[in-house]
Chain A
Amino acid sequence: MQIFSCPFCGPRPETEFHFIGELGKTRPETLQGVSDEDWARYLYTQRNEKGRVQEVWMHMPCAELFVMERDSVTMEVITVIALRGVS
C-alpha cells in the first residue's frame, strides 16, 4: 500500500487517489482540424517512462488535482504540488 501526499490533506492511503493522466498532455484544438495520427497520439500514446514520471492525480475526498512526481521503479514519491501551482 503506497502512501501519497495530497497537497491539501496530507499523507493518505493510495486507495483515496485517482489517476488522471500524464502531465503535459494538451488537448488538440479540435475545431482547427486534427489529423487522425495526432488525435490517436493524444488519446492513446503514453510516455510510460521508467524512472522519474510526472502525473496528474486527484485526491478523491477533496477532489483537488495535483501533480505528483514519482519514481515508477522504486515507487518513491518525490514531490506533490497543486495543479494550479504548476505553470
Chain B
Amino acid sequence: MSGTRLASGGVIDRSQPLTFRFDGRSYTGFAGDTLASALMASGVRVLGRSFKYHRPRGLWGAWSDDANAIMNVSLGASELPNCPASMTYLEDGMTARAVNAWPSAGFDVKGGLDALHRWLGAGFYYKTFMWPDWHLFEPSIRKMAGLGHVSVNVSEDDVAAHQHAFCDVLVVGGGAAGLAAARAAAELGHDVCLVDDQRVPGGGVYQMQQVEGQAPADWIAEERASLEAAGARVLSETTAFGVYDHGLIGLAQSRGFGAAPRLIRMRAGRVILAAGALDRPLTFPGNDRPGVMALNTGAELLARYGTLVGQTLAIVSARGCDVQPFEAAGARVSRFDPKEGQIAARQGRHVTGLVQGTRFEPFDAVFVSGGWTPLVHLWRHAGGKLQWCDQRQAFLPDGQLTQMRAVGAANGTFDLPAALDEARAAGRGDAGARPATAYHVDPSWPAPRSKGRQWIDFQHDVTLKDVEVAARENYVSVEHLKRYTTLGMASDQGKTSNMAGLAAMAAIQGRPIPEVGTTTFRPPFVPVPLELYRGHHREQLWHPLKRLPLEPVHRDLGAALGEYGGWLRPGWYGAGTPAERVADEVRTARQGAGLFDGSPLGKIEVMGPGAEAFLNFVYYNTMRTLAPGRLRYGFMLTEAGIVFDDGVLARLGQDHFIVSCSSSHVDAVRTHLEAWRQDGNDPDSIFVHDATQAWATVTVTGPEAPAILRAAGVDAGDLAHMNLHETEWQDTPMRIARVSFSGDASFELSIRASRAAALWSALRNAGATPIGIEAMSIMRAEKGFIIIGKDTDGQTMPHDLGFTFPRTKKTAAFIGDRSLHTDVARAPGRKQLVGLAHGGDAPLPTGAHVVTDGASEGYVTSSYFSPTLDRPIALALVANGASRIGEAVTVWHLGTQYAATITMPCAFDPEGGRIHA
C-alpha cells in the first residue's frame, strides 16, 4: 500500500503545502487534508494500535466511522488528547502521536501482548482478577486503561461559546439529499439552516461522475448558491450531535484546532435528517489488518483528497461499486464476491493479499463493504422507531415523528435520483413514503464457528470468538453483550462494530437480527469536549454568590470572606492565623460585645387573616398562641416528620409575622411556604413575601450589648429576651429582635439595607467588635444550639433534638404530624442530640463515629476548640443519646480511637443566665 497523491482532483488546495509530524517523523500534506488523509497520501500504513492487544491499526473510516487512528495532537500551545485523525483537519506545524502505542504506532513495545490473546478473551478481566484481591491488580490495570494523555498545560481561557438559535427547517447533512432538501425548503421562503460536519459540504457527491447532468463540484456549488440566495444559512464543520426534549438540537461548531467549539442550541420547527450512511465491515480472518478499509473510505480518499491508497486494489462488496474512478487513477482493481466462500486476508503486519478458496491475489489494499448502514442516531434520539429491512439488510427509520423526517441514505434511499426526489419533497413539506429501490444486498454476516481471528470491534479488540464466549456464558442480550465484551464501546460508539456484533449474536442463537435488536443510541453522535457544555457556565456565572450590603465595609476591615450557605460572608477579621483570630473574636464577644453581620438571616413576611392558622400548621410548635411583639423558636418539618428548618417566628401584629429561617435555606423555605399556601390553604387570605435582601440585620451580642445600643442611639427600651421592638433609628424604621444564637444577651437590629453601613459604623464607634461567622458557629456550639443539616440529618425528628412537647400535646394539625407516630418514629435506638467531652487538646474529628463492638452508634456533627471553656467541645447524634448522659464511649475515626463521655448538648452556661443579662 503505497499512497499516491494524484496531480489533480479533490477539495484540497495543492498550492498550500502543510508540514506536520507523526510519531517523530516529518510529513507534508495540503490545506483541506485531514491528518488521516495526509498520512495515507504519504504512504503511512499503521496509524494506531488497538486497545487491548496493541494490534497495528490502519484507517478504516474516512470520517466519523474511524476508531483506529486516534492521536494526541498538538499545535502551538494547544495539545488535545484522542483526536480522531480522520476528523482532524491538518494545520501547518501540527504534531501528532498515536495513542496507546510507544514509541510509535509502527513499532509498539506492547505489541507482544497480542501473543497472549488466547488468555485475554472476553471476560478474562472479570474471571482473572477476582483472587486473591482485586486491589492487588488495580494499580497496574489502571495504568494500562484509557487512551491518550491529558496535557499538563491547562488553559482556563479556552471557553466554549454558547448560542441559542432558531429556524423553521434544520437540515442535518450537506450531502446530495441535504442540499436538495435545504434548497427546496428555502425556495418556499422557510428560514432554513443546513449543518454539515465537514469543512466542504457535498457528502459523498464528489465520488460520483455526474449529478443531474453536472460535474459533482458544479452541482454542489449551484445547490449551495441557490439555497443561500434563498436566505438559508450553511454551517460547515458543525455536527448535530444530539436531539433533546422539546425539539432541542445540539450543534457543535468547530472554531479551529485548539479552540473550544461553539455550542448552538438550535430550536427548529422541523428537522430533515440527511445524515447519510456508513459502510459496515465484513467479518473474516485478518479483517483488522491495516490496508483493509471501508470501500467508502477508499472512494472518499480519492474523491476528496486526490489520494489513491494503492496500485492494486481488491474490492469485496455486498453493495454495488463503481470501479471506474480507481481504474482511471491508475489502479488495478479485482472484485471478490463474499458469497463465493470465506475470504481471508493474507496475514502480515498489514494486508498483502486476499485468499478465497484456492484463489489468492496480492494487493496493496482491500476495500470492503457489507452494505450501507443508515445513520439513524438522531432519529433514535428523537424517539423514532426502527424497522428491519431484509432487502437492504439494515435498520431503517420507521413510522412518523412530528418534528423529524429522514431522507436519502439515512432513510435507506441509496439511489441518487430517488433520494433527491425524496429530499425535495421533504424540503417542501410534502407527505411521502419511502421510495421503492432496486438496492439489494445479500446477507453477509459473521459466520460463527468459522476459523481464524475475525474482528468485530477494531479498537477494543472484540472478535467473533468473544461474541461466542459471551453467548455461551449467557450474555445474550445486546446490552449485556456490549458490557461483557466492550463491543461498541470504542470511541466511535459502535458505528463500525454494532451491526456485525448483533448479527453475530443472532447467528449464534439462530434468531433473526431484528429480534436481537440494537443497543440504545445516545447523544453525543460523535465525541465532543466537555468544555462544549460548560462554556461560560463557570464560577460566579454558574453559581452566583449572594452579596451582603455591608461587603465593602467588611473588606475595609480585612475580613476573610468565604462562601457560607450561598452567601459571601466574613469568616473572621484581620491578619494572623485564622484559629487565633476566631478564638479572639469569641473571647471578645463573650467578655464585651461582638458585632455580627446577620443579614442573610431569613426575613419572610407572612401576612393576612389566614396567616396565624397557616403558620400554626406549618410549624411543629404551636404558633397560634404567640402574642404580637413576641418571638418563638420553632421547627418546620417535612410531611415525613423530618426537621426541615429551624428559626424564630416573630409576630408583629395580629395578621403580620416574620419567618426568620436559616440563612442558607431561605429560598427552600419560601418555596415550601408558597406550595402549602397555594395548595391546601386559602391563598386569598395568606400572603408570603420574602424580604430577606431588602433588610440588613446587624447583631450585637455580649454582656455589653445593651450599653453599646444606648451609646449608638438605638432605642431598645427594656426589651426582654424573645421580644420584638419596632422603632426608628435616625429616622429610619428599625426592628429589634432580642434573640440569641450566641448564648449571651443579643440584639438583632434589622434596618433598610441602604442604612446598614451607617448603623454598623455607629455600633463600632460605640465599642462593639466585629466577629465573623466562624466565631458565631463556635459560640452556638458551646450552647448546644444546632444548625439544621449539620447537626441533624435526613432522619432527625424534633423529639430526637429534645423538643418533645408539641409531638404529644399540640392540638392542631401540622405538617409532618402523623409521621411522628409511626413505628420508625417510636423505635428505640433513634439517634439523639448530645454533647461529647473528651480529654485531649484537639477537637474530635467531625464525622468521627461513636462505636460499640465495632458498630457505629452515631457520629460527631460539630466539633471545635472552645476558647470560652478552654477545652474541645462537640455535638453528636448518638443512638439513645439522651438517656446515656455521663456514659463513657469510644469515638473512632480513620483507625484512631478517642475516649469520650456523653454530655448534655449545652456546654456553657446551662442555666441560661447570661442570655437575660
Q: Which positions in A face B, CB cutoff 8 Å?
A: 1-3, 18, 20-21, 27-31, 34, 36, 39, 42-43, 56, 58, 60, 63-65, 74-75, 77, 83-84
Contacts and interface: CB of A to CB of B under 8 A. Distances in A.
Interface string B56-100: 000000000000000000000000000000000000000000000
B675 interface: yes
A58 B246 contact: no
B813 A30 contact: yes
A66 B817 CA distance: 26
11 contacts: A1-B246, A2-B245, A18-B671, A27-B639, A28-B818, A36-B823, A39-B822, A58-B671, A63-B671, A64-B678, A84-B678
Nearest to A26: B680
Contacts of B683: 84
Interface residues of B, number: 24
B655 interface: no
A74 B671 contact: no
A65 B822 contact: no
A58 B675 contact: yes
Main secondary structure of the interface of B (DSSP, over half): mixed
A39 B819 contact: yes
A31 B813 CA distance: 6
Given A20-B675, A29-B813, A63-B671, A2 B822 contact: no
B671 A2 contact: no
B480 interface: no
Contacts of A1: 244-246, 248, 265
B679 A20 contact: yes
Given A1-B245, A27-B680, A65-B679, A34 B818 contact: yes
B908 to A, nearest CB: 39
A39 B679 contact: no
Nearest to B817: A30
A-B CB proximity, top 9 nearest:
A65-B678, A2-B245, A30-B818, A63-B674, A75-B245, A2-B246, A30-B813, A39-B818, A30-B817
Contacts of A64: 678
A2 B247 CA distance: 8
Contacts of B674: 58, 63, 65
A34 B248 CA distance: 46
B719 interface: no
Contacts of B818: 28, 30, 34, 39
A65 B674 CA distance: 8
Given A30-B813, A43-B640, A58-B674, A83 B819 contact: no
Interface string B172-201: 000000000000000000000000000000
Contact of B383 (A27, A42, A74): A74
Contacts of A77: 246
A45 B150 CA distance: 47
B670 interface: yes
B905 to A, nearest CB: 30
Contact of B679 (A28, A29, A83): A83
Interface string B658-687: 000000000000110011001110010000
B160 to A, nearest CB: 16
Interface string B779-813: 00000000000000000000000000000000011
A24 B802 CA distance: 36
A38 B383 CA distance: 38
A60 B813 contact: no
Interface of A is mostly: mixed
A43 B819 contact: yes
Nearest to B250: A1
A27 B679 CA distance: 10
Given A31-B813, A39-B822, A77-B246, 18 more contacts: A1-B244, A1-B246, A1-B265, A2-B246, A18-B671, A20-B679, A29-B813, A30-B813, A34-B818, A36-B823, A42-B639, A43-B819, A60-B671, A63-B671, A65-B675, A75-B246, A83-B678, A84-B683
Nearest to B247: A3
A63 B670 contact: yes
Contacts of B248: 1
A53 B262 CA distance: 36
B679 to A, nearest CB: 6
Nearest to A18: B671
Contacts of A27: 639, 680
Contacts of B670: 63
A35 to B, nearest CB: 10
Interface string B527-547: 000000000000000000000
Contacts of B680: 27
Contacts of A21: 679
Contacts of A39: 818-819, 822
A63 to B, nearest CB: 5
Interface centre among B639, B688, B818, B819, by most chain A C-beta atoms within 10 angstroms, is B818
A78 to B, nearest CB: 13
Contacts of B640: 43
A75 B671 CA distance: 25
Interface string B810-839: 001100011100110000000000000000
A83 B679 CA distance: 8
Interface in B856-896: none
Contacts of B812: 31
A77 B680 CA distance: 25
A43 B680 CA distance: 15
Nearest to B674: A63
Nearest to B812: A31
Nearest to A60: B671
A39 to B, nearest CB: 5
B325 to A, nearest CB: 45
B240 to A, nearest CB: 16
Nearest to A11: B246
Nearest to A27: B680
Contacts of A28: 818
A2 B670 CA distance: 25
Contacts of A3: 246
A18 B823 CA distance: 31
Contacts of A29: 813
Central interface residue in A1, A56, A64, A75, by most chain B CB within 10 Å:
A1
Contacts of B823: 36
A85 to B, nearest CB: 12
A31 B810 CA distance: 11
Among A20, A21, A34, the most chain B Cβ lie within 10 Å of the Cβ of A20
Interface string B353-390: 00000000000000000000000000000010000000
Contacts of B244: 1
A34 B683 CA distance: 26
A77 B247 CA distance: 12
